[in-house]
């Protein structure tokens, strides 16, 4: 259900409809030759056609085609000279790969520029300047018409995209709930669960940011406000689940609770099913999802004096209340309260404007994007040279296209793309043989092309193997229509050979001027520590009507995002040669400690918000301020990583006790939790120093 009805599939189908529709319009206007050239421009424009905010869709789609037009023309004009064509390819590739300085936003722009040149190789040499300009005009017209279609279709589908991206995030959180439920299985190793949890949290951080970018845009209407409120409730539920992890640690140390733990596991699994039901309803575009599944309460506790057990149950109940709040918001039974983001939603979304600022990161020989551009240019140069000396040189662009899609900024991503590209091409060629063996009518072939274009676009980020299969179908079916006299077996053999050659070139060049993850780890570590320090500063502010909730939410997002980036970089480094890998053990320790720090601060923040009356604020307020200052000093390195006589350094975070909610005064618990947080900060600093080799 989630794979079929997700935003990527909706977007893929929209792209396929626009691609085929625009091509048919241009075919009716200018004929097959004009439509074929315009189709290249259409393909370039589709690369940036992704779910986006309504007011920023045009500036998302324009750069690729605008920059692709002069490159397409340059390739047309250099057709008569291999040397000139090689220079255009090499210089154009360098500029194209530099677009990755803008991060994820730069990806479609870079790909559009590259494929403008690569697809131009498939064109027959023009007969003079006029024909080159004529073709470029059709290229620009096809891209321009599709850009208009992309903006309009994104506006029409915006509400559906909001639902689907929100459903994606809810499903990701449901998966984390299921992982947390495994903690109650005695035979499951806690370390393995922690590793899975960190990986899932990193994926959830990406899904949440994608949801924020659309769901929080201009939340003016009641429907938009409901979706935004559901997203905010999801973020709060994530915090409660994080704090619950600490209490599960305490509960796991008490063997007598083994009989109750299966009930707690079932409770979390039940809430995960509820969230999946809600996500499915959102995917189906229903105005209101189905009612929550009937809840079966946890059996009565047999150890009423067990504060750890009471706290875990309280946490599960809080998560359940957030799930119920999501349902109530979806049904319109609860008014959306999103004052924190209604007027400041721009602060929570990704950057949407283009500027020259990212180019400043290219200064210096060791700049990662600069090295990536040089590496990519070298790979394209080698690929072009090799393609000119192949016995089947009629399709040299296949080699170059493979290099473009396989060569990534990191070795781990390049290896993943290499394997997926080769396997997908082979599987796609087999499918082509099966389809063409039945001698399908042209209408069937066109249908396969349309479906292939939808699938290729839909899964290009999510699962590239599927995209590779679909792209192979698309390419060979187009070749079959344009050159029916070419035997399909020979075309497939060419495609496989070109793919293998291109993938090997990309893989080999990934070792040229490499930028190993080890070089970026120190900056990522410092970003994570700074984010944790800022989050601690705002989380330890006593809750009141004047508390900086907006700033705290922004700090919380940065803390999660910085930890997610560090987790992903560590995972990528495992594919690199052992000699250049960073110190993985302290990095993993730092990630686990950061996760626990977020959990401790979340527990404290929750206590300040919900149980302020059970705290002696005359004692708590100076303790909170002192703890925030001590954490900042430890994380920023302004004091030794592990002071010998510090009380905080003598506290074992794994032994932290959960609060006894029946106690009249929870101040002792707060003071202990603050001491634990200071200890964690000191340990994080020590792990950070080890990971950076200092």
Q: What is the pTM of this model?
A: 0.86
Q: Furthest-apart CA pair in the chain: how many Å?
A: 90
How confident is the model at residue 317, as a pLDDT?
Answer: 84
The predicted-structure confidence for 670-693, as pLDDT tens digits, reads as follows 888 899 899 999 999 999 998 876
Q: What is the mean pLDDT of residues 476-486?
A: 60
String of DSSP letters for 393-435: TT-HHHHHHHHHHH--SSHHHHHHHHHHHHHHHHHHHHHHHHH
Residue 254: pLDDT above 70?
A: no
Read off the DSSP letter of residue 612. Answer: G
Burial bucket for residue 268 (CB in 10 Å: 0-12, 13-18, 19+): buried
pLDDT class of 526 with cuts at 50, 70, 90 = very high
Q: Confidence band (pLDDT; 50, 70, 90) for 350?
A: confident
Does position 452 have pLDDT exceeding 60, yes or no? yes
Counted residue by residue, the chain has a size of 694
Q: What is the mean pLDDT of residues 378-384?
A: 95
Predicted pLDDT at 292: 54
Please give the pLDDT value at position 586.
Answer: 92
* Residue (of 215, 209, 203, 213) closest to 172 by Cα position: 203
Section 67-90 average pLDDT: 92
pLDDT tops 70 at residue 265: yes
Please give the pLDDT value at position 371: 92
Please give the mean pLDDT across all residues of the chain.
83
- Residue extents of the structural domains in the chain: 168-347, 364-515, 521-656+663-691
DSSP character at residue 223? H
Cβ neighbours of residue 484 closer than 8 Å, sequence gap 6 or more: none
| Residue 67 reports pLDDT greater than 90 | yes
Q: Identify the band that residue 294 occupies on the pLDDT scale cut at 50, 70 and 90.
A: low
* Whole-number pLDDT of residue 296: 53
Digit-coded pLDDT (tens) for 12-39: 999 989 988 888 888 888 887 888 888 8
**What pLDDT is recorded for position 656?**
57
User: Per-residue pLDDT for 642 more than 50?
Assistant: no
Q: What is the pLDDT of residue 658?
A: 58
- In this prediction, residue 303 carries a pLDDT of 46
Q: How confident is the model at residue 306 (pLDDT cuts 50, 70, 90)?
A: low
Nearest to 125 by CA among 114, 135, 137: 135
Q: What are the Cα distances from residue 106, in Å, to 113, 182, 539? A: 11, 39, 34
Neighbours of 387 (CB within 10 A): 22
Mean pLDDT of 229-257: 77
Given a cut of 60, whether residue 601 has pLDDT beyond it is yes
Whether 399 contacts 534, CB under 8 Å? no
Tokens 């005359």 correspond to: 618
Tell me: pLDDT of 87 over 90: yes
The pLDDT assigned to 630 comes to 93
Cα angle 223, 226, 229 (rounded to 5 degrees) comes to 150
> What span, in angstroms and rounded, lies between the C-alpha atoms of 589 and 579?
20
Provide mean pLDDT across the span 193-211. Answer: 85
Per-residue pLDDT at 143: 94
């Amino acid at each position: 259900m989630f794979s079929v009805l997700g935003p990527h599939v909706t977007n893929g189908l929209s792209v396929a409809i626009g691609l085929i529709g625009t091509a048919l319009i241009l075919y009716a206007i200018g004929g097959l030759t004009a439509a074929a050239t315009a189709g290249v421009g259409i393909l370039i424009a589709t690369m940036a056609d992704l779910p986006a905010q309504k007011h920023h869709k045009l500036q998302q789609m324009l750069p690729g085609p605008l920059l692709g037009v002069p490159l397409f023309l340059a390739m047309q004009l250099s057709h008569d000279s291999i040397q000139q064509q090689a220079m255009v390819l090499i210089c154009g590739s360098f500029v194209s790969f530099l677009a990755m300085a803008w991060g994820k936003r730069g990806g479609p722009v870079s790909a559009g520029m590259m494929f403008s040149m690569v697809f131009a190789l498939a064109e027959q040499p023009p007969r003079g300047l006029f024909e080159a300009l004529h073709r470029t005009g059709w290229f620009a017209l096809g891209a321009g018409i599709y850009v208009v279609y992309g903006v309009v279709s994104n506006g029409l589908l915006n509400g559906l995209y909001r639902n689907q991206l929100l459903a994606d995030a809810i499903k990701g959180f449901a998966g984390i709930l299921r992982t947390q439920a495994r903690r109650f299985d005695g035979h499951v190793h806690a370390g393995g669960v922690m590793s899975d949890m960190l990986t899932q949290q990193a994926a959830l951080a990406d899904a949440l940011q994608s949801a924020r970018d659309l769901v929080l845009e201009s939340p003016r209407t009641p429907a938009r406000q409901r979706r935004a409120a559901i997203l905010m409730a999801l973020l709060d539920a994530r915090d409660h689940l994080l704090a619950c992890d600490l209490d599960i640690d305490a509960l796991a140390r008490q063997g007598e609770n083994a009989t109750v733990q299966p009930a707690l596991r079932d409770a979390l699994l039940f809430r995960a099913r509820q969230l999946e039901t809600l996500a499915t309803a959102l995917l189906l575009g229903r105005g209101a999802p189905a009612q929550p599944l009937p809840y079966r309460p946890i059996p009565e506790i047999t150890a009423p004096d067990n504060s750890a057990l009471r706290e875990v149950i309280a946490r599960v109940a809080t998560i359940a209340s957030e799930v119920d709040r999501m349902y109530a918001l979806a049904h319109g039974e609860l008014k959306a309260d999103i004052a924190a983001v209604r007027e400041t939603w721009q602060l929570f979304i990704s950057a949407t404007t283009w500027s020259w600022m990212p180019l400043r990161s290219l200064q210096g020989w060791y700049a990662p994007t600069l090295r990536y551009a040089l590496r990519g240019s070298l790979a394209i140069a080698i690929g072009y040279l090799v393609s000119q000396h192949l016995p089947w040189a009629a399709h040299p662009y296949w080699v170059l296209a493979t290099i473009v899609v396989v060569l990534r900024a990191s070795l781990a991503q390049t290896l993943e793309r290499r394997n997926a590209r080769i396997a997908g091409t082979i599987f796609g060629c087999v499918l082509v043989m099966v389809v063409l063996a039945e001698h399908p009518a042209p209408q069937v072939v066109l249908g396969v092309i349309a479906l292939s274009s939808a699938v290729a676009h839909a899964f290009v980020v999510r699962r590239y193997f599927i995209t590779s299969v679909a792209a192979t179908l698309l390419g060979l079916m187009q070749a079959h229509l344009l050159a029916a006299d070419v035997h399909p077996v020979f075309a497939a053999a060419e495609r496989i050979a070109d793919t293998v050659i291109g993938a090997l070139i990309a893989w080999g060049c990934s070792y040229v001027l490499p930028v190993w993850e080890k070089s970026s780890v120190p900056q990522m570590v410092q970003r994570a520590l700074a984010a944790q320090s800022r989050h601690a500063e705002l989380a330890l502010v006593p809750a009141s009507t004047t508390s900086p909730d907006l700033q705290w939410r922004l700090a919380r997002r940065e803390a999660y995002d910085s930890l997610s980036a560090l987790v992903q970089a560590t995972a990528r480094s495992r594919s690199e040669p052992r000699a250049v890998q960073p110190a993985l053990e302290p990095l993993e320790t730092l990630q686990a400690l950061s996760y626990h720090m977020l959990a401790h601060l979340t527990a404290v923040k929750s206590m300040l918000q919900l149980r302020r009356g059970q705290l002696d604020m005359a004692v708590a307020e100076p303790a909170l301020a002192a703890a925030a200052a001590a954490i900042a000093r430890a994380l920023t390195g302004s004091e030794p990583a592990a002071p010998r006589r510090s009380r905080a350094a003598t506290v074992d975070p794994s032994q932290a006790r959960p609060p006894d909610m029946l106690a009249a005064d929870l101040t002792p618990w707060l003071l202990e939790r603050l001491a634990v947080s200071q200890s964690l900060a000191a340990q994080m600093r020590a792990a950070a120093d080890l990971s950076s080799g200092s």
